[in-house]
Amino acid sequence: MANKIRVTVWGENVHEHKNEKVAANYPKGMHGCIADGLLEDPAFEVTVATLDMPEHGLTDEILANTDVMTWWGHMAHDKVDDAIVAKVKKRVLEGMGLIVLHSGHYSKIFRSLMGTTCSLVWREADELERIWICNPGHPIVKGIEGPYFEIPMEEMYGEPFGIPEPNETVMIGHFEGGNVFRSGCVFLRGNGTIFYFQPGHETYPIYHHETVKLVLKNAVKYVAPRGTLWKDDCPNVPEDQAPVKISKK
């Protein structure tokens, strides 16, 4: 019980109330569907948090008790309070895992952690995406049969993708219209591990897709803290506490 990975699924929860297609795909919200997918694995304890909650559902208590956070946002990135973003970033640097989904590429938290534009090219044309596995031995793709998996309809996200060079590129998406994209990337920041995963346009039922659900479960385990959290407060080490006595002439 004590060893469960505590996941907070953060969702913007706006499209679900404005677009019938999104509401039909996700009657419990996109965050509800992502949470249900994760709960198929008894290794996880899952909390949901949304933009409209006080402090966007990310209170100090929730943040202190989150091992891994997933983040889906799109049309309301600018409504997310900078003070909350700073707290989430601090937790990532200490060692909390973060999974940024689809249009979360433009979220304040992802751009702040990357330090780059995080822009990309895109097209909404109901096209097939084939996601190729770059490293079949990587824990994030464990259990996927074959060299790729397909998403029947997805929004095209294409290169150039304005990210720093990832620490690991796990997947590359190829779209019917010919564009390619670094669809699954791992970044290390401070003591934290971040996974960016491209699938998840709101008008398609992508978080019901079995392989997408499998990747999310694997990713939670992969980005979860691996040891002691790093509380980096830049401590001074006075001479008399130096590990070895310093001799002076």
Min dist. Cβ of residue 200 to Zn ion (A): 7
Ramachandran quadrant class, 43 (left: phi over 0; alpha: psi -120 to 50; beta: rest): alpha
Min dist. Cβ of residue 237 to Zn ion (A): 48
| 105 makes contact with Zn ion (CB under 5 A) | no
Question: What spatial distance separates the first Cα and last Cα of the chain, rounded to whole Å?
Answer: 57
Strand 180-189 to strand 168-175: parallel, antiparallel, or no bridges (unpaired)?
Answer: antiparallel
Min dist. Cβ of residue 154 to Zn ion (A): 9
Min dist. Cβ of residue 2 to Zn ion (A): 38
Cβ-Cβ contacts under 8 Å for 90 (sequence gap 6 or more): none
- Pick the stretch among 17-25, 98-106, 187-195, 225-233 that binds Zn ion (CB under 5 A): 98-106
Min dist. Cβ of residue 203 to Zn ion (A): 8
| 154 makes contact with Zn ion (CB under 5 A) | no
Binds Zn ion (CB under 5 A): choice among 155, 181, 187, 196: 155
Binds Zn ion (CB under 5 A): choice among 31, 138, 201, 217: 201
| 15 makes contact with Zn ion (CB under 5 A) | no
Instruction: Name the strand (E) or helix (H) holding 132.
Output: strand 121-133
Cis peptide before 160 (omega within 30 of 0): yes
For 70-123, the DSSP string reads: EEE-STTGGGS-HHHHHHHHHHHHHT-EEEEEGGGGGSHHHHHHH-S----EEE
Q: Specify the residue, 22 or 224, whose C-beta has the smaller distance to Zn ion.
A: 22
**Count, residues near Zn ion per rule CB under 5 A:** 3
CB 171 within 8 A of CB 184: yes
Q: Specify the residue, 91 or 201, whose C-beta has the smaller distance to Zn ion.
A: 201
Q: Specify the residue, 66 or 103, whose C-beta has the smaller distance to Zn ion.
A: 103
Report the candidate in 57, 17, 7, 65 with the shortest Cα–Cα distance to residue 37.
Answer: 7
> Dihedrals φ, ψ of 88, to 5°?
-65, -45
Min dist. Cβ of residue 201 to Zn ion (A): 4
**Closest-approach residue to Zn ion (CB):** 201
Binds Zn ion (CB under 5 A): choice among 66, 103, 107, 218: 103
- Pick the stretch among 55-63, 149-157, 183-191, 225-233 that binds Zn ion (CB under 5 A): 149-157
Which residues of this protein are in contact with Zn ion, per CB under 5 A?
A: 103, 155, 201
